[in-house]
Structure 1
């Protein structure tokens, strides 16, 4: 069922694929799917509020007629709208319902301006949707050179999407389908995708890591200061015993990506009061500063070695002032680490994925790393395979941090060789992840895979956390059988002599003209024969 839905939704992009890059057409398709979900969900809610049966009102045409009737009745109109806003957080006029617009598309009387007005009305009336449809640019020349061509393009997409039932599923099917689409677009968009998507299996592993030991919490909070599409945050709930009681806090700099994350959270059934998200620069100014500002888990996949201001004023910032130095201007990696760590509860767990340089680079980064190690903040360092992420082939490391530890040891896991080779990206299997989680939980040495290093060991290594210093994965080659090599060389020499003799005989027997005499003589001399 899920796979069929995924395929139907993805095929709806066919009319856009030839016109623009995946990083652009994703905005149209994901925006339209989201709007259809809101519209279809509203119709189902109307039937329930009218105390009618979905068996009786099985088609959207009948549901829309019921909605219009109730709105035409002055006695029920205001109450209905108020109840819809109270239960769903929004209302949509019948003329702007997705199925109504799609019906017009099927009759070839659809007007692009109606869809534009539908977006404007929803986003201007309700703060939750403010700016959410800004990237569905219905006037873009890429949709067509004029209004008529643009109308035709969107008409075809509406027709295809209208045939997909996006609300008739139990659980997270539509949310998961949305995740699937985001992953497909990330794959097609290549380098541009790294900013908005963490591949599912890596996200899954990090979610498990931060949930360990906190599974039974009645209320759980997760924070992602570089949230992208929100998938890292959303994955955490799959490993909690009360997944419906999770509060999501996130920040994202890119406005398009921020809107995508909001849609993703809503489609996964996250209520407005359970999400606290913000479109802003995470490093430039601390957020959140009001309660709650510390969280049970922090998950992060920040932009690697990004530039930031590193202004000296940040030395007074409570996120960074305990570490003596600031992350360098050209590499903000440790600024992201310290920001996330500052917002971690005393009992919480943080997982962040970054390039390996953070483990061993010196200067200011070395100073910060030493302080974190002296405080016992770094709990585990996990080396991941290369080419896992869209847009970069570099190997990465997942660093796990905790607070208030009694010990300062660090578990090193080298999982860099545990993957399945893919066409474009390498992939982690469930078995690969299970092995990491099992090793992480046992916190014991595993030959050529894991090592629990004492603080003294780390100190002796000058606080360098480069994984090969602690996990020796070197495989000794089998000793060479010199006798066998000698025999093989002798056989090759004998074959060579036979071939040379045969070639010499062939060349000697050739009939040749006077002008080729020098060439023939040279060839004979190569084989050691001098006339």
Structure 2
């Protein structure tokens, strides 16, 4: 059975628990990722004489498993890794972590136990069969781990990873298309762990020739492993300082040029001149100006421009300051704009990156027809993100919107526009985005006349015209004319939402808003998923189709609807589709028995327990089986549960009423001041007072009733669980498809879209209510009310003899 993505991720992240404490995340990532690599290549290439990686005798993960409990486990793991590295020219790549380091892993038994458990975590993962064609399951897991390592590493150690969401934007805006030739090249001079290069490569159907350079030795090793895990073993990644010693040169000693380039260089590098004299640069990278000695932000941008072919395209992440800082940077910026190299700028939200919280931007370079360029395309995407822990993170809809707008040159108010070169020149070549795009929210202004005389300003009501375009008569239901330029509310503030929900125009809108979803669900052909399908291609196709279905729909944002599908894909559908693409629809019948490893407690939550054996449903939760096939039994169980709840409530109420100091159950309290069945039975043998005995007998009856209720519920639940358990094997393919697609996927998606429709209504209701309450009492009425209350207080004070 295929491993689900989220299960694989959680298992790998749990493996880090074995190493936490001895070192920080920037260090233990090397151990975990090395074992992930060893397990993957062992499962995939063991016994394959034509594989990209040769696994020699005695150098596989199986050989590590044999070391569990061995007193020399650390040293022997190092030798196994070294043997694999030697055979495959991976010295200095996979043997960076020292598994025999007592300071980090512990001494003696502590090291043996820790490494034994760490190997055990990977042992149960069969990675040989967990690659749906075209989907880098292990590569994605590697990226998942690195994102979490970057999060845990903190500011000083997060530079090895660029958030995948940002990487996707760079990859999609540099002009790679389905027609891009296989021999086209992509380059990253500060490649880190290689995520930017891989995302760019993903955009080319036939792949690209990958080149990268990374200064940090351990990080360049991560990149090499990352390339192999993503089936790009031929990628050329080297370690070294790109500025002082660039690796990639042509036969004449000049910088090699590439078709595409992507980069996320270190921000504001103060040591960029180390080993380099920019005034005598042999590669001519600084002909447009030399960056400040203590700020190298422009250095890598200039290096990339020089490293691109005459039609080359690139994208670089830099801090916002490069757009507007003066002096040397201002001269470089002016020269680059005059050359026409800068195609566009995308402003990003703050706090996206590991290692810094400052906002950044993407500068898109395009040498093709640079001299003919008459302006720049600017995007202010700083407002679109979600919070995740202490970082901000771009959502799927934010990425899609940015890419759509940039690649299609769509001008959206407050978000994007083409800025003519003349306008930039008039601003002294300052590219600060707020100078050209106003993305601020309009201020909600109060109307002084309305506060003085009452009424709701018509201009505020007119501002909701996007609603009135859809609900033509709803405005007349909610408002009526008052005086010139003002209206009054016809509906009490607390009844506004219900009035909107019950209005015939809203009901029509709600129904019409679900029509695209219904049409999409039929055309998506989700029941046609077959073994060998590509999950990533599937989600791309169906998400684009849903986005297009909702394009141009009033009030609803197609990107919000798109996000609903992408969120559910990440939560549930992705795992389900990966299983179906590898094991087919019969996987829906599978109930996996959960077995704890020796000496460990079972952590995974079970779906069913039959005869004390715990089972986990692979694709179809038992609740869906019950809903479709055992509704009557569930209804009967609900009745029994309601009776039990009533019995428990009656028991609790009786105990509460009679447990006071003078109550009949006061002497039946146990050491913990609780009345229990045992304490009542014990007290009944001693009690002589008739009232106390009556209370004790009554509570005893209530305890018995609750016990019978609990037994009835348990028996009914056990019977239902057994019936469900026995029903799984009888499911045919049509049943399974209906349960997964109709009852599970589409039902949840429909509920969430309905919630989005209601959210739109809530926004309207909130605004109407806000305006009604804001101007409900004009100032004269408030003044009169205050005067009346003041007189009333003065009268009371006078009556009390306290008048002044």
Fold in common (TM above 0.5): yes
Query: TM-score, normalized by length of structure 1?
Result: 0.81
DSSP 3-state at the match of 2:362: strand
Q: Report the alpha carbon displacement of residue 314 of structure 1 after superposing the two structures with TM.
A: 1.4
* Partner in structure 1 of residue 109 of structure 2: 148
Q: Contact conserved, 1:27 with 1:136, CA < 8 A, in 2? A: no
Q: Which residue of 2 aligns with 1:320?
A: 285
1:242-262 C-alpha deviation (Å, 9 max, x unpaired) = 13xx21111111111111111
Q: Larger deviation: 409-418 or 207-216?
A: 207-216
State the shift of 1:131 in Å.
4.4
Q: Does 1:20 align with 2:23?
A: yes
TM-score (norm 2): 0.54
| 2:362 paired residue among 387, 392, 398 | 398
User: What does residue 308 of structure 2 align with?
Assistant: 344
Q: How far apart, in 2, do the equivalents of 1:216 and 1:92 lie?
A: 38
1:376 match: 340
Relative distance call for 1:214 and 1:192 in structure 2 (3 A) is: farther
Structure 1 CA distance, aligned partners of 2:428 and 2:328?
14
Q: 1:402-481 to 2 correspondence within 5 Å? A: 402-404=366-368, 405=370, 406-481=372-447
Instruction: Tell whether the 8 Å contact from 1:215 to 1:239 is kept in structure 2 after alignment.
Output: no
Q: How do 1:358-373 residues align onto structure 2 when only pairs under 5 Å count?
A: 358-373=322-337
Distance 1:168 1:192, change over 3 A: farther
Is 1:167 aligned with 2:128? Answer: yes
CA shift for structure 1 position 141: 1.3
Q: Alignment partner for residue 5 of structure 2, among 2, 7, 25? A: 2
1:194 pairs with one of 138, 158, 172: 158
Confirm or deny: 8 A CA contact 1:23 1:192 kept in the other structure: no
| Shift, 1:191, TM fit | 1.7
Deviations 1:50-79 (A, max 9, x none): xxxxxxxxxxxxxxxxxxxxxxxxxxxxxx
Deviation at 1:115, TM superposition (A): 0.6
What per-residue deviation string (whole Å, max 9, x for no partner) do you get for residues 163-216 of structure 1? Answer: 111222224211111111111212222324431111111111111112445743
CA distance in structure 1 between the aligned counterparts of 2:797 and 2:47, rounded to whole angstroms: 91
Q: Does 1:115 align with 2:70?
A: no
Q: CA RMSD in A?
A: 2.7
- Picking from 185, 193, 202, the partner of 1:221 is 185
Of 77, 102, 109, 2:65 maps to 102
Extract unaligned runs of 5+ from structure 2.
453-776
Q: CA deviation at 1:351?
A: 0.5
User: How far apart are 1:42 and its partner, in Å?
Assistant: 3.4
Give 1:374 deviation, angstroms.
0.5
1:204 to 168, 171, 174: 168
CA contact (8 A) 2:93 2:225 kept: no
Pick aligned residue for 2:248 from 288, 297, 302? 288
Preserved CA contact (<8 Å) 1:310 1:326: no
- The 1-side partners of 2:179 and 2:393 are apart by 27
Partner of 1:36: 39
Name the SS for the 2:261 alignment partner.
Answer: strand
1:89/1:475 Cα in 2 relative to 1: closer, same or farther (>3 Å)?
closer
Range that drifts further, 351-360 or 4-13? 4-13
| Residue 179 (structure 1) aligns with | 143
Distance, in Å, in 2 between the alignment partners of 1:458 and 1:488 is 49
Deviation, structure 1 residue 132: 2.9
Deviation of residue 287 (structure 1)? 3.0
CA displacement 1:104-160 (0-9 Å, x = unmatched): 31x66662221121123333454333343223453141311x233212211110111
Residue 170 of structure 2 contacts residue 315 of structure 2 at CA under 8 Å; is this kept in 1?
yes
C-alpha spacing 1:481/1:165, structure 2 compared with 1 (3 Å): same
Query: Counterparts of 1:5 and 1:297 in 2: how far apart (Å)?
Result: 33
Determine if the alignment matches structure 1 residue 299 to structure 2 residue 262.
Answer: yes
Q: Tell me, in whole angstroms, the C-alpha distance in 2 between the residues paired with 1:281 and 1:477.
A: 50
- Classify the secondary structure of the residue corresponding to 1:249: strand
Corresponding residue for 1:237?
201
Higher radius of gyration, 1 or 2: 2
- Using the alignment, how far apart are the partners of 1:315 and 1:492 within structure 2? 74
Post-superposition offset of 1:368: 0.7
Deviation of 1:40 (Å): 2.5
Distance 1:508 1:464, change over 3 A: same
> Offset of 1:503 from its aligned partner?
8.1
Structure 1: gaps (5+ residues) = 46-83, 512-523
Runs of 4+ in structure 1 off by over 6 angstroms are: 494-511
Cα distance between partner residues in 1 of 2:280 and 2:178: 33
- The size of the alignment, in residue pairs, is 467
User: Is contact 2:174–2:313 with CA below 8 Å preserved after alignment?
Assistant: yes
Quote the residue 2:458 is aligned against.
none
**How far apart are the structure 2 equivalents of 1:503 and 1:93?**
97
Q: Quick one: distance in 1 between partners of 2:82 and 2:177?
A: 45
Structure 1 residues 214-223 or 162-171, which shifts more? 214-223
C-alpha separation in 1, matches of 2:789 and 2:72: 80
